[in-house]
Structure 1
Amino acid sequence: MNPQPPAPTCVRHPNRPTGLACTRCGRPACAECLRPAAVGQHCVDCLRQDQRDVVPVRTVAGARTAAKPVPYVTYALIAVNVAVFAVTAAQAKSLLDNQRGSALFLDWVLYVPAVAEGEWWRVLGSGFLHYGPIHLLLNMFALYVVGRDAELVLGRLRYLAVYLVSLLGGSAAVMVFAQNTVTAGASGAVYGLFGAITVILIRLRQSPNQMLILIGINVFISFSLPGISLWGHLGGLAAGTIATLGVLFLPQWLQAKSPEAARLIGWVAVAFVAIVALSVVGATALTLAV
């Protein structure tokens, strides 16, 4: 009597005899290593290979799309702004008048003569300060509304870069055109995101009219009401718009040969806007220091 051949064992668990097999590769596999498929069942190794072979879906900016996109950077920026406001309010011992008596506010607010004396951190730090809770709430609401969509299209790192470049652009404009003011707030960066969303809509071939109307209304308000940093808003709007144009349109204009080249061109464009803004700040500071 001929002996029976040994039962096949799972390729991933050699100590487990099995009568099952992957309908794709034909290798024996235990029930734990198999997953239901449209036809038969596939082993986990074949499923992983499928995932590696699938080309990831990307946005027009080259950012990967997620099944459940969460704008983590936008939430983080809001959290940082709220935390800085809480520190200034605690130092000033006042929620409504948080700038007086707050050492952090005095150290970070954008005061052009202080920047000229070497306090360069004010150029960025001032963008995380706010004059009272209403100022904070208005800016954070706008950041929440426009930031989520901008982050999902641009990708987290490029979105953060555009935000910071917009902030720099607003500070640069204040350095040149509003040297006798004391400026604080995330408005410059938010205006930059207004411009970014407008460029994104144009790139997606959607009507930007609503954003253009919103920008026009806000610019009119900046002209009309005293105490609002008009140049901070305009500088941020210009920087954010130009940086996003570089990310979304410059690779196409330069006929980038690959997605990697397109992303590199976008980063170079953002870096160029940042360098220009920093150069303006530096040149203005040196001029005032002389």
Structure 2
Amino acid sequence: MTNPGWGGAPGEGTPPQPRCVRHPDRPTGLSCTRCGRPACPDCLRPASVGQHCVDCVAEGNRHTATVRTVAGAPVRTGVPAPIVTYVLMGINVVVFLVTALQAKSVMDNGRGFVNQFTGTAVFDSTLFGRWVLSPVDVATGDWMRLLGSGFLHFGLLHLAVNMFALYILGRDTEVILGRARYVAVYLISLLGGSASVMAFEVAGFTAGASGAIFGIMGAQAVILLKLRRSPAPIIAVIAINVIISLTLPGISFFGHLGGLVAGAAATAALLYAPQWFGAGQNRDRAVRIGWIGLGVVAVVTAGLIGLRVAQLRSEYGL
């Protein structure tokens, strides 16, 4: 018997299966419900109706407005990681370990004495001696002390208290302000604390992150006001810490106060300046004005430090 060959050879007359537009080597029976192009399972994403290819998803995202916080920072999906806060904590811990190793003491890493012949302070830790805030030394041109002192701590307890406060306060503030703005407010607060010490606590040596942390407290108070929520809880925390600063010996009240004022002023400039100068709904202009406001606060803070340095040089004949 013979095969009559109905329909010709196998496969003849069968239309070829479509292939994925992004992977031509992959046959597929699926397609994007938005553009209609064939796509393999790896190139499709679930949508409210059907499934969209990755190109259509990307195109849709480009035309979707980014959700932002009151400070203009993009809202991140999931649980945002406060990376900057953790980095700042890490820097403080590393600096403390260096000073503790140099001083061979965890609880007294800031131990030092004043040389009665030269009148200069000598610390067991070289790094501590170079960075601790001494207004007269800053007036001689040792500018690093203005920032470096904010990463030094007198003993393990001082470090632990400040890092716990930074962990509690810094995470939410970073998420709302955004990483870059948060770093700017933190550093301006640190400089504000140093400026206040330069003005009102010439004698002695000052160190610690608490000036910057007070600035974060001030930032949170301003943020709550901008959100039209009660700032009473953070104001209560500030008041308690101010009382502690005034009553316990060895605490720099003016360092805390300067950081608080600088942090609040920087955040107010960031959040309210765009409104004051009529940025309206223009997001780019609002961001630009906010950064200009931060810059103005930083310049004013630096100017106050420069003015005080000039006064100290005149008083001490430096």
Question: TM-score, normalised to structure 1's length?
Answer: 0.96
Residue 118 (str. 1) matches residue 129 (str. 2) = no
State the Cα deviation string for residues 186-223 of structure 1 (Å, max 9, x = none). Answer: 11100000100001111111111111111111111111
Mapping 1:107-146, distance limit 5 Å = 107-146=130-169
State how far apart, in whole Å, the 2-side matches of 1:90 and 1:226 are: 27
- Aligned twin of 2:119: none
Structure 2 stretches lacking a partner, 5+ long: 1-6, 112-123
Structure 2 length as normaliser, TM-score?
Answer: 0.88
CA RMSD of aligned residues (A): 1.5
1:79 counterpart (84, 87, 90): 90
Cα drift, residue 133 of structure 1:
0.7
Please give the alpha-carbon distance, in whole angstroms, between the structure 2 residues aligned to 1:193 and 1:181. Answer: 25
- The SS at the match of 2:245 is helix
CA distance in structure 2 between the aligned counterparts of 1:134 and 1:74, rounded to whole angstroms = 19
Aligned residues: 290
The residue matched to 1:17 in structure 2 has which SS? coil
Matching residue's letter, 1:142: A
CA distance, structure 2, for counterparts of residue 211 and residue 37 of structure 1: 43
Indicate the residue corresponding to 1:249 in structure 2: 272
* Stretch deviating more after TM superposition (65-74 or 279-288): 279-288
CA offsets, 1:61-106, max 9 Å, x none?
Answer: 0000111211000000000001100000000000010012101001
- Deviations, residues 115-155 of structure 1 (Å, cap 9, x unaligned): 11110100000000001011111111111111011100000
Paired residue type of 1:50:
G
Aligned positions of 1:138-157 closer than 5 A: 138-157=161-180
More helix by share: 1
Distance in 1, matches of 2:45 and 2:239, equals: 56
Going from structure 1 to structure 2, the CA distance change for 1:270 and 1:35 (only over 3 Å counts) comes to closer
**What is the rounded CA distance, in whole Å, between the counterparts of 1:47 and 1:140 in structure 2?**
42
Q: In terms of Rg, which structure is larger?
A: 2
SS of residue in 2 equivalent to 1:182: coil
Partner of 2:117: none
**Paired amino acid for 2:48:** A
- Post-superposition offset of 1:237: 0.4
Greater relative contact order, per chain length (Cα 8 Å cut-off, separation 6+): 1
User: Which consecutive residues of structure 1, in runs of 5 or more, have no partner in the other structure?
Assistant: none
The separation in 2 between residues aligned to 1:37 and 1:154, in whole angstroms, is 32
